[in-house]
């Protein structure tokens, strides 16, 4: 399978409502418009990195061999597949509680993905160089994630579960 054939996750532009110029945006001050533009840019960068991570994870899974290969690949792909939809969910909701909830799920899935990749190496069912590529992509994602979450703004809504 070729890397460029791995476009199962739609491109960010598929979600045209994010950052579009409509009548509501026209009433924004230039500072607020810039905030919205930066918010969309951060989310798009994170989303695109999640797409790349998904592709690398899928290619990594194709190289797994041995008794635990299928189970490990399934776990890796379950976690990799959750990243993009949760980013879109966080951006679409635009509520602090839902953004934080989705961010927590993203973090958990990404950490589980990393654990499974490291386990594949520990069980010697992968090529170490391929493991390093996926781990590098996870690190790129983690750094973008930190920047994305840093700008979440608390709103007036209370979390009735008491977490956020």
- Can you name the CATH fold of 31-150? de novo design (two linked rop proteins) (1.20.1440)
What's the pLDDT at 7?
Answer: 64
pLDDT given at position 40: 92
Record the pTM.
0.87
Tokens of 101: 């909830």
Residues 8 and 57: their CA atoms lie apart, in Å, by 13
Question: Which of the residues in the chain have pLDDT under 70?
Answer: 1-7, 16-26
Structural domain boundaries of the chain?
A: 31-150
pLDDT digits (tens, 9 = 90+) for 124-146: 999 999 999 999 999 999 999 99
- C-alpha closest to that of 93 among 32, 23, 15, 7: 15
CA geometry: angle at 51 spanning 46 and 92, to 5°?
A: 55
């Amino acid at each position: 399978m070729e890397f460029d054939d791995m476009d199962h996750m739609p491109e960010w532009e598929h979600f045209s409502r994010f950052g579009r110029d409509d009548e509501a945006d026209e009433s924004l001050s230039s500072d607020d418009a810039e905030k919205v533009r930066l918010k969309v840019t951060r989310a798009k960068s994170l989303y695109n990195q999640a797409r790349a991570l998904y592709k690398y994870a899928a290619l990594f899974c194709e190289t797994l061999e041995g008794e635990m290969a299928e189970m490990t690949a399934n776990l890796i792909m379950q976690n990799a597949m959750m990243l993009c939809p949760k980013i879109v969910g966080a951006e679409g909701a635009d509520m602090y509680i839902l953004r934080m909830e989705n961010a927590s799920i993203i973090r958990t899935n990404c950490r589980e993905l990393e654990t499974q990749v490291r386990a594949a190496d520990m069980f010697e069912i992968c090529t170490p160089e391929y493991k390093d590529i996926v781990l590098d992509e996870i690190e790129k994602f983690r750094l973008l994630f930190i920047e994305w979450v840093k700008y979440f703004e608390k709103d007036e809504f209370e979390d009735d579960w008491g977490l956020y």
